[in-house]
């Protein structure tokens, strides 16, 4: 059972053509607007746009950085090794991938899995913000620095931001470590789990329960 947490309606951010002020877009509308996107240089190397996946009525959204090789091939976010860990983290929280929605800051794979560049983030950000406007979840988990810093417009390092509730357009946002970072830094998993437990508490879930 989910607890009822009052929240305000996210404001329209004004950045996406095709989304009318005062109206809540649908994910399908946003995907259509994205089209065969050529708005930044990442389009030249991509195999597939990775828009997002999961429940369009999700109360919980995970935002990552950008597709890697496996995601680029399949067109689905978080399906490689970091995705396997994210899937386990979601299950440990008492959710399945079908309950939540998963997307990224940039929708196309940066070559060689390099970090997304500011112009690429700027080109893609309106789509992420519109996805969140469409979803209007109860909570967002920002996975890693690019998700947290982009959504919050805050350059504080993720090591300092993680574990403290923030607010994104009236939605509670929990910054935590990116699963790919956790794969390289096993000792940090405990901190990420503490962060996720705070999210579970918001949803009335206990570790080890399937409520």
User: Binding residues for ligand URA, per CB under 6 A?
Assistant: 64-68, 71, 77-78, 82-83, 104, 180
The distance of closest approach from Cβ of residue 36 to ligand URA in the complex, given in angstroms and rounded to an integer, is 20
Using the minimum distance from each CB to ligand URA, give the nearer residue, 54 or 83: 83
C-alpha pair distances (Å), 19 with each of 29, 56, 87, 142: 8, 17, 31, 24
How near is the Cβ of 22 to ligand URA at its closest, in Å? 32
Answer yes or no: are the C-beta atoms of 65 and 104 closer than 8 Å: yes
Identity of the residue, 81 or 207, whose beta carbon is nearer to ligand URA in the bound complex: 81
Which of residues 54 and 77 has its CB atom nearest to ligand URA in the complex? 77
- Residues with Cβ within 8 Å of residue 145, at least 6 apart in sequence: 157, 158, 178
Burial tier of 202 (Cβ tally within 10 Å: 0-12, 13-18, 19+): middle
10 or 80, CB closer to ligand URA?
80
Q: How far is the CB of 125 from ligand URA (least distance, A)?
A: 15
């Amino acid at each position: 059972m989910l607890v009822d947490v009052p929240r305000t309606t996210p404001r329209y951010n004004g950045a996406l053509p095709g989304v009318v002020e005062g109206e809540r877009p649908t994910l399908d509308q946003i995907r259509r607007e994205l089209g065969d996107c050529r708005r930044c240089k990442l389009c030249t190397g991509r195999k597939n746009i990775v828009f997002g996946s999961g429940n369009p009525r999700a109360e919980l959204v995970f935002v990552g950085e950008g597709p890697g090789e496996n995601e680029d091939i399949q067109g689905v976010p978080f399906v490689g090794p970091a995705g396997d860990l994210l899937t386990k983290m979601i299950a440990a929280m008492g959710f399945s991938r079908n309950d939540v929605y998963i997307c990224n800051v940039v929708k196309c794979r940066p070559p060689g899995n390099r970090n997304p560049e500011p112009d690429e983030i700027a080109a893609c950000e309106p789509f992420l913000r519109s996805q969140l406007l469409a979803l209007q979840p109860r909570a967002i988990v920002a996975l890693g620095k690019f998700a947290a810093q982009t959504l919050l417009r805050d350059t504080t390092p993720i090591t300092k931001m993680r574990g403290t509730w923030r607010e994104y357009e009236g939605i509670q946002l929990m910054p935590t470590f990116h699963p790919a970072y956790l794969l390289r830094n096993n000792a940090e998993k405990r901190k990420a789990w503490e962060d996720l437990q705070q999210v579970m508490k918001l949803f009335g879930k206990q570790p080890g329960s399937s409520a």
